[in-house]
Chain A
Amino acid sequence: EAGVAQSPRYKIIEKRQSVAFWCNPISGHATLYWYQQILGQGPKLLIQFQNNGVVDDSQLPKDRFSAERLKGVDSTLKIQPAKLEDSAVYLCASSLVGLAGALTDTQYFGPGTRLTVL
């Protein structure tokens, strides 16, 4: 079974530029998560989708970050404009079931995209 795919794996940009990350979850997984992991810290949830609807985006900096999950499959996360403090690894995860069982179901993580903002 293929895992969660993410691209690109690495990205270096200058501040105020834009960047986009792509995630392809495991086939059939209803729930998709984007986490931000700053160096030396644990992952922090940015946004959670169930199918193509947003469940939780309370920690997404909406003035600069946006995310979408068209057709309930792939997802993109965009930063525009980027700031120095956005340097981090962006992890995508997916789980099989919907809200009712989301917590008991295993979240499978992709390898992440390492973003460096200069």
Chain B
Amino acid sequence: AQSVTQPDIHITVSEGASLELRCNYSYGATPYLFWYVQSPGQGLQLLLKYFSGDTLVQGIKGFEAEFKRSQSSFNLRKPSVHWSDAAEYFCAVGVYNQGGKLIFGQGTELSVKP
């Protein structure tokens, strides 16, 4: 069965420091992978997505993610975190034989300290 694991429930980084959020997936075919961000009281916003091609994907707000098939991972990175990046981040895998269904991980909450 398809699944997504985000091993870190909560991460705290200092403003200006680099960030890496981990995501591992289980899927029997080439995955469609997504990262979403959810700020308090807001809906989810798409940061970036991977379907094929270049394994390093650029997204909005300075985020990038790298698809590593050998590790079944799709980690999210940002070189310098801003206080406004504090939010919850969700990794998801798309199931393309079920009409675009997304399976989400449990999320990683990011706190940014001054």
Q: Which residue of A lies closest to B96 (CB)?
A: A103
**Could you tell me the distance between the alpha carbons of A42 and B92 in the complex, rounded to whole angstroms?**
9
Contact A44 B104 (CB under 8 A): yes
The size bracket of the interface on A is 20 to 34
Q: Name the contact of B43 in the complex, choosing from A42, A50, A55, A109 (C-beta under 8 A).
A: A109
* Residue of A42, A99, A112 contacting most chain B CB atoms (<10 Å): A42
Asked whether B71 is an interface residue with its Cβ less than 8 Å from the other chain, the reply is no
Q: Name the contact of A111 in the complex, choosing from B32, B41, B96, B100 (C-beta under 8 A).
A: B41
Contact B104 A42 (CB under 8 A): yes
Contact A110 B43 (CB under 8 A): yes
* Residue of A31, A50, A112 contacting most chain B CB atoms (<10 Å): A112
Contact B99 A41 (CB under 8 A): no
Q: Name the contact of A99 in the complex, choosing from B41, B49, B95, B100 (C-beta under 8 A).
A: B100
Q: Which residue of B lies closest to A6 (CB)?
A: B43
Contact A48 B106 (CB under 8 A): no
Q: How many A-B residue pairs have CB under 8 A?
A: 66
Contact digits for A91-118, partner B, Cβ 8 Å, 1 yes 0 no: 1010100010011111111111000000
Contact digits for B21-57, partner A, Cβ 8 Å, 1 yes 0 no: 0000000000010001000011111100101000000
A58 to chain B, nearest CB (A): 8
Contact B99 A45 (CB under 8 A): no
Give chain B residues whose Cβ lies under 8 Å from the Cβ of A99.
99-100
Contact A40 B106 (CB under 8 A): yes
**Could you tell me the distance between the alpha carbons of A91 and B32 in the complex, rounded to whole angstroms?**
21
Q: What are 19 A-B interface contacts by the 8 Å CB criterion?
A: A4-B43, A40-B106, A42-B90, A42-B92, A42-B104, A42-B106, A43-B90, A45-B101, A45-B103, A50-B99, A55-B99, A102-B99, A102-B100, A104-B49, A104-B51, A107-B46, A107-B100, A109-B43, A111-B43
Q: Which residues of A contact B (CB under 8 A)?
A: 3-4, 31, 40-45, 48, 50, 55-56, 91, 93, 95, 99, 102-112
> Known contacts A43-B104, A55-B98, A91-B44; can you find 14 more A-B pairs with CB under 8 A?
A3-B43, A31-B100, A42-B105, A42-B106, A43-B44, A48-B99, A102-B100, A103-B32, A103-B95, A103-B96, A104-B32, A104-B49, A105-B100, A112-B43
